[in-house]
Amino acid sequence: MTLPPRDALTTHEVTNQPPARGDADLWADDPALRDHARGGDAATLAAYGRDWGTAARRAAGRDANRHPPELVSVDAGGRRLDEVRFHPAYHDLLGAGLRDGYAATAWDGGSHVSHAAMVYMTSQVEPGVCCPMTMTYAAVPALAGTDLAATWGPKLTARAYDGRAVPLAAKPAATLGMAMTEKQGGSDVRANTTRAWPEGDAYRLRGHKWFCSAPMSDGFLTLAQADGGLTCFMVPRWLDHGRNGIRLTRLKDKLGNRANASAEIDYEDALAWRIGEEGAGLRRIIEMVHHTRLDTALAPAGLMRAALVEAHHWVAHRTAFQKRLIDQPLMRGVLADLALDWEGTLALGLRVARAFDGADAALRGFARIGVALAKFLGNKLCPNVTYEAMEVLGGMGYVEDGPMPLFYREAPLNSIWEGSGNVICLDVLRTLARDAAAGAAVDDALAQVAGQDRRFDAALAAHREAWPGLPLEAEARVFCESLGVLLTAATLLQQAPAAVSDGYIATRLGTRGRVTGAVRGLDTAGILARLSA
């Protein structure tokens, strides 16, 4: 045990400061997670929550952010390395997540619900390590049915971590990154200029990538122009005879996600293996994007809860004007209003995860459109929730002594990653236009709760009256927001306590002010009870 800090100082006594939070349990302390993680392995998630809730884990996350990765281009003699060096805390966290099954559980007998719950819990501790683990998880379906699945698949789903710069054959486990975006195209990957040409049973790639996620990974899925059109390739970092032709130009100096590296890279005749047919690159890599979008739908829920837990801890232990902050009605109203966005995001995200586990056409259709709606809505809510939670702490929320700046910097990321808001909304319209099963699945999900709440029924009727068919492109955002809120409300009606579902429907489907807390009649006790066991 370490001695406690001194609170009786020469000039004053330290009072009215909340105690350190200490160890927490991200599963046992979160009744909302336990309610909505239906289909997940409760024993596995309980162990994960205990492991990742400790004060030591949070401290490691802060260390990984205070000491961001560094690019090491060459060694002392000028020989190329093109490596990224991390603080030991980053490797500790990444290794723990992989060993605990973050990337593997959906494929080795667990479920996507368990995986999604792990994303949610990990995001509350250190969101940066989620990136390489998420892409490692999502690469498995992209490789399915290819020759590479036999060599890479077992390494990607191994519950182990090996960060050494050695060939795949020498490793018990591997991680995978992604490199699609180029300077001239951004989201329009059809504009990519990286070229690919065959060499024996492999290819060579020459070109650049403006954003390469997790450049320290053992390989990347990437897109390049072959003779047959835009094609998906696996590019290994390490070859049996040495380093591949991948040059790390620089690391991005990002607003957030600072513990994780993102890089600009050049392919200098890099050796690569084709995944799927030439010209079918988008169809192949969309499998990876589909699964990474699930994680970007759960991460904002984790960030929101982490920020709200810090705010709740503060107000529960601090007084102002002779009253505890948590007992002041206006404060309770603000926190309860924020908590509705958090629990709604969590509930819809885990419902989508259950659809990922489904085998029938209806569930697959729901997963295709549901993941886009959950990603869009949850990430638009997240920055405001983290900001308002920060404001609850006053000046203490704005300084790096606590975790609030980390959560706030992280809040915009998942909306940008794997399709920004406009891209996602247009994807929803395309899905509805092309996939009748997806639209039918959403209609069925809404119909399941018809008749349970007259306000919900009225909002659903208004939505259908406004859009009897597909909306105009200019209305894509308002359409997706309306549909996402309705799906969230339907999910809460089925799974959440009345205080939560009633509060959500009254404020999100009814009339509310433009600022947080501008609501009336919430059951604040019932809603805030969801923030702790």
Secondary structure in 3-state letters for 448-495: CCCCCCHHHHHHHHHHHHHCCCCCCHHHHHHHHHHHHHHHHHHHHHHH
The answer on 290 and 246 residing in a single domain is no
| Cα separation, 405 vs 411, whole angstroms | 10
The answer on 459 and 382 residing in a single domain is yes
- Domain containing 93 equals 33-279
Indicate the SS3 state at residue 272: strand
| Cα separation, 436 vs 315, whole angstroms | 49
**18 lies in a domain?**
no
At residue 533, the pLDDT reads 72
**CATH of residue 492:** 1.20.140.10
At residue 277, the pLDDT reads 95
Distances (CA, A) of 283 to 82, 202, 374, 527: 31, 20, 22, 43
The answer on 377 and 343 residing in a single domain is yes
Find all residues with CB under 8 Å of 458, minimum gap 6, and list them: none
**Which string of b and e fits 90-115 if b means at least 16 CB within 10 Å?**
bebbbbbbbebbbbbbbbeebbbbbb
- CA-nearest of 296, 298, 306 to 349 is 298
**496 lies in a domain?**
yes
| Cα separation, 482 vs 466, whole angstroms | 10
The answer on 395 and 336 residing in a single domain is yes
**10 lies in a domain?**
no
Strand pairing class (176-179; 219-226) = parallel
Distances (CA, A) of 131 to 94, 180, 261, 282, 367: 10, 15, 9, 21, 21
| Cα separation, 516 vs 487, whole angstroms | 22
Q: Which of 257, 279, 301 is the last residue of a domain?
A: 279
- Residue 176's identity, in one-letter code, is L
Distances (CA, A) of 67 to 90, 105, 258, 529: 9, 30, 9, 36
* pLDDT tens, residue order, the chain (533 aa): 678 899 999 999 999 999 999 999 999 999 999 999 999 999 999 999 999 999 999 999 999 999 999 999 999 999 999 999 999 999 999 999 999 999 999 999 999 999 999 999 999 999 999 999 999 999 999 999 999 999 999 999 999 999 999 999 999 999 999 998 898 877 788 888 999 999 999 999 999 999 998 999 999 999 999 999 999 999 999 999 999 999 999 999 999 999 999 999 999 999 999 999 999 999 889 999 999 999 999 999 999 999 999 999 999 999 999 899 999 999 999 999 999 999 999 999 999 999 999 988 889 999 999 999 999 999 999 999 999 999 999 999 999 999 999 999 999 999 999 889 999 999 999 999 999 999 999 999 999 999 999 999 999 999 999 999 999 999 999 999 999 999 999 999 999 999 999 999 999 998 778 899 999 999 999 999 999 87
Q: How many CA atoms lie within 13 A of 156 on its CB side?
A: 27
**3 lies in a domain?**
no
Q: Which of 258, 279, 300 is the last residue of a domain?
A: 279
| Cα separation, 87 vs 163, whole angstroms | 12
Indicate the SS3 state at residue 172: coil
Phi, psi angle pair for 384, to nearest 5°: -70, -40
Is 295 in contact with 482 (CB distance < 8 Å)? no
Helix (H) or strand (E) holding 204: strand 202-213
Structure tokens at 445: 């999900």
The answer on 328 and 251 residing in a single domain is no
Count Cβ atoms within 10 A of the Cβ of residue 436 and give its class: 0-12 exposed, 13-18 middle, 19 or more buried.
exposed
At residue 532, the pLDDT reads 84
CA 428 to chain centre: 19
- In the 8-state DSSP scheme, what is residue 202? E
**20 lies in a domain?**
no
Structure tokens at 456: 């919900």
CA-only gyration radius of the chain, Å: 24
The answer on 317 and 192 residing in a single domain is no
The answer on 327 and 237 residing in a single domain is no
DSSP string spanning 286-309? HHHHHHHHHHHHHHHHHHHHHHHH
The answer on 159 and 141 residing in a single domain is yes
Q: Which of 260, 279, 298 is the last residue of a domain?
A: 279
| Cα separation, 159 vs 136, whole angstroms | 12
Find all residues with CB under 8 Å of 78, minimum gap 6, and list them: none
The answer, as to whether pTM is greater than 0.85, is yes
**217 lies in a domain?**
yes
At residue 186, the pLDDT reads 76
**403 lies in a domain?**
yes
- In the 8-state DSSP scheme, what is residue 352? H
| Cα separation, 271 vs 488, whole angstroms | 46
At residue 1, the pLDDT reads 65
The answer on 287 and 274 residing in a single domain is no
The answer on 304 and 275 residing in a single domain is no
Is 180 in contact with 223 (CB distance < 8 Å)? yes
**59 lies in a domain?**
yes
Indicate the SS3 state at residue 265: strand
The answer on 103 and 220 residing in a single domain is yes
Is 113 in contact with 350 (CB distance < 8 Å)? yes
The answer on 336 and 196 residing in a single domain is no
**CATH of residue 85:** 2.40.110.20
| Cα separation, 461 vs 370, whole angstroms | 20
Is 173 in contact with 123 (CB distance < 8 Å)? no
